[in-house]
Chain A
Amino acid sequence: GAVVSQHPSRVICKSGTSVKIECRSLDFQATTMFWYRQFPKQSLMLMATSNEGSKATYEQGVEKDKFLINHASLTLSTLTVTSAHPEDSSFYICSARDLLAGSEKLFFGSGTQLSVL
């Protein structure tokens, strides 16, 4: 089946630094990818919808200047957490839709655990 690769799986950084997370669709093209955030024992919260070749659509309350999204190709979307702070520590998950597999089917990356010291 379709695979979404997310890298890195875990990152620890100092406060004030920026962290980039990559999400790749390995064997299919994804015009749209989604970025979620999950706090411990909480649900996945959609942060933004990443659109290939255009600006991302952010959910209410998500700072677009804080969480930069780039979707430069049909197989790669990146999320950059700029000037990270401890409150940004969370589990970030991306997902992509394989259009050929049917519009309902979302494939998820394995997630990135971000810890900001």
Chain B
Amino acid sequence: AQRVTQPEKLLSVFKGAPVELKCNYSYSGSPELFWYVQYSRQRLQLLLRHISRESIKGFTADLNKGETSFHLKKPFAQEEDSAMYYCALGGGGSEKLVFGKGTKLTVNP
């Protein structure tokens, strides 16, 4: 069964500090990992996906199959990064996504 674990419900950092949002997954097949972000009063939107290996808004995430992790990182957090972040898992040719419970990131001035 597919499962996504985001161990931190809340994460608070100061502006300019590095931030890492943890995500671990469980899946027997070839995983496809995504990070979605939801800013206050806005809809959920895709932040990045492991396939494209891109950096969006300074965020990066590397898929580590050995550790079954897909942690989201940013070297210098900004106040506008404050939002709810969801890690999501797809794969096996299925369009379905399984979401983690989310981590609420607060970047303090």
Contact = CB atoms under 8 A, between A and B. Distances in A.
Interface of A: 4, 32, 34, 36, 41-46, 49, 93, 95, 97, 103-111
A10 to B, nearest CB: 13
Given A43-B102, A104-B32, 20 more contacts: A4-B43, A41-B9, A42-B101, A43-B4, A43-B86, A43-B99, A43-B100, A44-B44, A44-B86, A44-B99, A49-B95, A104-B49, A104-B52, A104-B90, A106-B46, A108-B43, A108-B44, A108-B45, A109-B43, A110-B42
Nearest to A93: B44
B17 interface: no
Contacts of B46: 105-106
14 contacts: A34-B96, A34-B97, A43-B4, A43-B100, A43-B101, A43-B102, A44-B86, A49-B96, A104-B34, A104-B49, A104-B51, A106-B97, A108-B36, A108-B43
